[in-house]
Structure 1
Amino acid sequence: MSFFQRLISETQAEQQAFLSRDVFRKTREADVSLGDYQAFLTQAYHHVKHTVPLLMACGSRLPQQYHWLQSAVAEYIEEEIGHEQWILNDLGAAGGERDRVPYIKPHPSTEVMVAYAYHQIERVNPLAFFGMVHVLEGTSTAMATETAAIVQQALNLPDNAFSYLRSHGSLDIEHVAFFERLMNKITDPDDQDCIIHATKMFYRLYGEVLSSAVEVKDE
């Protein structure tokens, strides 16, 4: 069994718990308000703005035996630069206060997820960051395009309110294949275990971020 297959297998329970959250049921049923979508974008901004700094931190802390991963990290950085601005643009197109969002505090669940990512990179193992990549990119690729279509129809919003979701949907399939190839080059059992543990944690943490959207809109 390849490491990527092991990663999928050993985190299946956490993935199913993640996908069973009420936020996904409500979205499938188009039970979503404009406030829900604006809250989702707001929290997305507050974690996506850390993606490039996290990648930089990960790349700078890779041990000698993983220097081959630096080119992959650099590729991720090039792909991710500016995505938080897409989110702000989407928020403006959806009637949100795009200029205010950068100055408000994120929901505690978002703050905790970001803090956990930095902690893993800086204090535990920089490879743990790939657990976050797997959860956020894998989830987006599987669901983002369909979610965008449902939400757009339910709320009657313009196409330019969905650049973030659609860019992380079916168009990201090549990124998932790229990730699989990277993971299959990691052979150290301790590093594999670290990535698996981080993946389980990020399913839980990101699930809390998504579930917070309804709560945030009413604050």
Structure 2
Amino acid sequence: MTVSPPAPGTAPAPPTASAVLRARLALAAPTLQAACAALWQPAGLRPRYLRYLGAMHALVRASVPLMELAARRCAESPGDPLADRLGRYLAAHVEEERDHDAWLLDDLAVAGGDPAALLAAQPPTAVAELVGAQYYWIEHHHPVALLGYVLTLEHNAPSPRLARRLARDTGLPPAAFRTVHEHAALDGGHAADLDALLDELPLTPAQLTAVAVSALHTADGITRLFVRLTAPGGQ
């Protein structure tokens, strides 16, 4: 198929919101990828994987409450041109993410960890900082900022081969990697849905910036969390 060049004097179409956000996230990609590679190195992986499950449980159990809060704020803002479409997306995505924190507790138990002790412990400061910013922006700026958090998590899904490699390198049974395996399968579709939503919403430049700031904050927070988990005795 031949694509005709644009007519002389015709300005190229502006980039879509999802393309702009992916380009900004690409700035954080090298450091996040390096932190992931260090996290999954074979040496000392088994105890580090248990620490990872604990940290991810602390993070993931906040996802549904965050989206429910943002959806409520949308319902309270009927004059906002984003409110209805954003609220409907969040309500649907809540059901897609519900109980994933329970998967992590199950994985931890199979891996030899203690779910009761995890639930009794104070979550890591790095997780509180990462999630707490989202609560602040939802309540004191605009719930659309939460899409940056969701975007970063969905666009950094585990590799489809990761669960198998982790089972091999740790010696743990495959059932200890359900969450990694399921998210490798699910998050690609979720990311595509979110890209379509971002391109559909009537985002102002300020709102697009809010989503980008949230996305980059999330990427930085996950990077710092993985670095701490990789450090000797990391929490």
Normalization by structure 1: what TM-score?
0.91
**Native 8 Å contact 2:108 2:115 kept in 1:** yes
SS at match of 2:122: coil
Give the distance between the partners of 1:126 and 1:216, measured in 2 at CA.
37
Give the distance between the partners of 1:92 and 1:46, measured in 2 at CA.
15
Give the distance between the partners of 2:103 and 2:73, measured in 1 at CA.
29
Change in Cα spacing, 1:169 to 1:188, as seen in structure 2 (3 Å) is same
1:45 is aligned to 2:57: yes
Give the distance between the partners of 1:101 and 1:144, measured in 2 at CA.
26
Change in Cα spacing, 1:78 to 1:216, as seen in structure 2 (3 Å) is farther
Q: CA deviation at 1:144?
A: 4.2
Q: Which amino acid aligns with 1:125?
A: H
Give the distance between the partners of 2:44 and 2:18, measured in 1 at CA.
34
Equivalent in the alignment of 1:185: 200
Equivalent in the alignment of 1:68: 85
Q: Which amino acid aligns with 2:21?
A: L
2:184 aligned to which of 136, 151, 169? 169
After TM superposition, which residue ranges in structure 1, 4 or more long, deviate above 6 angstroms? none
Q: CA deviation at 1:60?
A: 1.3
Quote the RMSD (CA, aligned, Å): 1.7
Larger Rg: 2
1:206 is aligned to 2:222: yes
Instruction: Return 5+ residue gaps in structure 1 as ranges.
Output: none
Give the distance between the partners of 1:48 and 1:132, measured in 2 at CA.
12
Change in Cα spacing, 1:218 to 1:112, as seen in structure 2 (3 Å) is closer
Q: Which amino acid aligns with 2:66?
A: L
Give the distance between the partners of 2:96 and 2:196, measured in 1 at CA.
17
SS at match of 1:210: helix
1:13 is aligned to 2:30: no
**Native 8 Å contact 1:58 1:126 kept in 2:** yes
Equivalent in the alignment of 1:3: 17
Equivalent in the alignment of 2:160: 145
1:59 aligned to which of 71, 77, 81? 71
1:98 aligned to which of 103, 109, 115? 115
Q: CA deviation at 1:218?
A: 5.7
SS at match of 1:139: coil
Q: Which moved more, 1:97-106 or 1:83-92?
A: 97-106
1:78 is aligned to 2:78: no
Alignment length (residue pairs): 215
Normalization by structure 2: what TM-score?
0.85
Give the distance between the partners of 2:140 and 2:232, measured in 1 at CA.
31
Give the distance between the partners of 2:155 and 2:229, measured in 1 at CA.
20
Instruction: Return 5+ residue gaps in structure 2 as ranges.
Output: 1-14
